[in-house]
Amino acid sequence: MSAPVVVAGASLGGLRAAEQLRAAGWDGPVTVIGEEPYMPYNRPPLSKEVLAGKASFDSLAFRPRAAVADVEWRLGTRVVRADLDRRTVGLADGTTLPYAGLVVATGMRPRRLPCPGPAAGRHTVRTLDDARALREALTGPGVRVVVVGAGFIGCEVAATAVTLGAAEVTVVDPLPLPMTGPLGDLLAQALRDRHEQRGVRFALGTGVTAFHGDDRVTGVELSDGTVLPADVVVESVGSVANTEWLDGNGLDLTDGVLTDEHLRVGGRPDVVAVGDIARFPNARYDGVPRRVEHWSIPTDTAKHAARVLAAHLNGTEPGLDPFAPLPTFWSDQHDFRLQSFGAPALGKDDVRVLEGDPDGDVLAGYHADGRLVGVVALGGAAAAAAAARHRAALLKQPALTA
């Protein structure tokens, strides 16, 4: 039997890679290896519906396509090393697997704060098990919650904690506004106001220096010396790429796995990367390689990478243009939604209100060199629909040459 395509990582990206390999005409064996003991599941509800108790853990599982029924799933183990010259990967259980093609889909893990103090009572939200543990902690009576990190996950968790009836919810971040990195100041300010009106407090422009408590956290010490009392701490301070298993192969692993414009790794036609671990140049923008942690990215990258890999393995031409996805993200917080199309982060210096106003439903346009490069809506369904009306124009745009 011929060697399989090994998909390292059994999250959304790994599942889509397997499905898309079949769709792209790879009929050979496929082995997917995943560290978690679960079949691939949908992560965004972990910080929202699942945490709030509105969706069951079971409802998160993806329904794999029929075409992947013969795929071998090795769950509860991980890939710990790879020898790309020999085309083998080694698993945590000691097995060595030869491969015909390799899909790097090991994703990210939450970054942890290096501060001194007890570990118990500190949570992250990346996996099902994380969300289960956090839900249990949040549903205690009168809990005081400190969320460290005012990004997507931090803001979503803070909103959910308020809904669950937490006594106090404080979000800490060294930056002056929440989500200012992806949104810029105008919408970040509007976001902050909305959170405050709904009971979330902020401690901004300050870092965390220590955790207080003996066997479990009782407080969070900030850089200015203030101590916030806390029963539950959530660390949402970014993520770290799971690339250690690729060490020693001469790859650029500085932030995820560097790929070419077809998601190939290290100039090798038999190795591709998918999902938020892939640092790829987007031909739609300036061609600077970036990792993208949006929900749509695993599916988009898997489709492109699988075609490239299947064509190589089948000895055909993929005939594809360089990978150029239109970034899309959304975030549900309290009773409002953020909806984005394009690359607002590239146009943060020239933000204009296109519709509405920041106190109500608002649509902001982000410009680079006077041209619209992204839109973000904040508010209800009407605002999101307004953003969607700009999508076609953003999609049509020629590449931005920086």
Instruction: List contacts with another protein (CB under 8 A).
Output: 16, 42, 44, 62-63, 65, 295-296, 299, 328, 330, 332, 381-382, 384-385, 388, 391
The identity of residue 118, as a single letter, is P
The string of DSSP letters for 299-313 reads: HHHHHHHHHHHHHHH
Distance CA 280, CA 184 (A): 23
> Cα-flanking dihedrals φ and ψ of residue 173, to 5°?
-155, 140
How far CA 147 is from CA of 115, 155, 160, 183, in Å, comes to 15, 8, 11, 19
Element containing residue 132 per DSSP (H, E): helix 128-138
Q: Are 376 and 364 in contact (CB under 8 A)?
A: yes
Helix (H) or strand (E) holding 240: strand 239-241
CA dihedral 187, 188, 189, 193 (to 10 degrees): 100
- Going by the DSSP 8-state scheme, the letter that residue 140 receives in this structure is S
Separation between Cα atoms, residue 260 and residue 160, nearest integer Å: 39
CA distance 147 to 167: 13
* Count of CB atoms situated within 10 Å of the CB of 279: 20
Q: What is the CA radius of gyration of the chain?
A: 22
Residue 276 contacts residue 297 (beta carbons within 8 Å)? yes
Amino acid of residue 253: L
What does 183-201 look like in DSSP terms, one character per residue? H-HHHHHHHHHHHHHTT-E
3-state class of 169 per DSSP? strand
